Amino acid sequence: MNLKTIGYALGITILAAACNKYRTQVTKDGLKYQVFDHEDDARKAKLGDIMSFHLVLKNGSDSTLRDTYKEGTPVKMVLQAPPFKGSFEEGLAMLAAGDSAKFMINADTLFAKMMQPLPPMIKKGSELSFTVKVLSVLTSEEFQKQQSEVGVKQKAIDAKVIEDFIAKNNLKAKAQKTASGLYYIPEIEGSGASPAQGDNVKVHYTGKFLDGKEFDSSKKQGKPLDMTIGAGMVIPGWEEGLMLMKKGAKGLLLIPSGLAYGPDTYGPIPGNSVLQFEMELIDFSKGAPAPAGPAVPPAK
C-alpha cells in the first residue's frame, strides 16, 4: 500500500469517526446514546470501579432536573451491572476517563424498574436524557488511597481554620480539643454522668457556618431532637461531642469537615465545610445493652 492509499484509508477512518460523533445510536439492548468525546486509549470503566462524573439530567421538555456543575460536586458512583436492558449503567460502562456522552432512557421503563410512580414533572411516554462528562475512573483501592490522601490534607486545613476561629473569638481558654480534631467549648457544665454509645439523648441545637450564618435549628422547628448515640443518625462530630457533655450542659462544638459532611455538598452546606453547633443536652437515658457477641478465646 503506497502513501497515497494509506492517506486515503486514514481519511475514511477519521470521516467515519466524525460521522458517529453526535449521531444518535442504539445499543443491542435498546439504549439510545450520542457520543460527544471519546478516547480509544483512555482507561475504560470496569464493574466495581468508582467513576466520578458530572451529570446534567433533563426531562422530555428539556427542563433541567439536576445539574452537578451548578451543585459544584460531581457524582461518585460504583459501576454496577446494568439492572435492566438499556439502563444508565449500560451507558456508563461504555465510557472512559475524559469521555462525554448523552443517554436517552424511557421514563416509564426507568420508574417501573425503580417501582416508583412518575413524578409530576415527567410525562408518561417521555424520555429522560443523562448527559455525562467522566472525570476519572479508579479501582476501589485507588479510590480509597486518593480519599485518604485528600482527607489528610483537608484535616490540616480544617485545623488551621478552627484555630484561627478560636483565636479571633477569644475561646482558647475554654476550648477542649479531642484526638479527632473536634473542639468543645463548654458554656454550662451540667451535672452527673455523660451519655455513652447506645444511650438515647434529647438535644436542642443550632447549626451555623463559621461566619455566623445559620443553616439549621431545632428551636426554630419547635422541638428538641431525640436520637440514639452510635446509631449513625447524625454526623460523627455530634456523636463524639455529645459524649463530652453532661445532662443540662450547653456548649459549642467546632466540627472539622471530616467529622461533618466531608467533601460533598449536603443541602445548603458546601463540601469541606467546618461547622459550629450550639448544643444543649436536655436529657438522656440509658439504651438497651448491645447483644453479646461470640465468645473470644483468650490470647495465648
Instruction: Catalogue the active-site residues.
Output: 205, 215-216, 235, 261, 277
**CA 166, CA 171: separation in Å to the nearest integer?**
5
C-alpha grid cell, residue 215: 443553616
**Closest C-alpha to 253, from 262, 261, 242:** 242
Q: What angle do CA 186, 189, 192 make, to 5 degrees?
A: 140
C-alpha grid cell, residue 96: 472512559
Dihedral sign computed on CA atoms, order 186, 192, 197, 201:
negative
Return the HEC string of 45-62: CCCCCEEEEEEEEECCCC
**From residue 148, how far is each of 48, 255, 279 by CA, in Å?**
19, 19, 30
**Closest C-alpha to 201, from 239, 254, 237:** 239
**CA 66, CA 290: separation in Å to the nearest integer?**
42
**CA 202, CA 207: separation in Å to the nearest integer?**
16
Place of cell 424520555: 127
C-alpha grid cell, residue 207: 447549626
CB 207 within 8 A of CB 217: yes
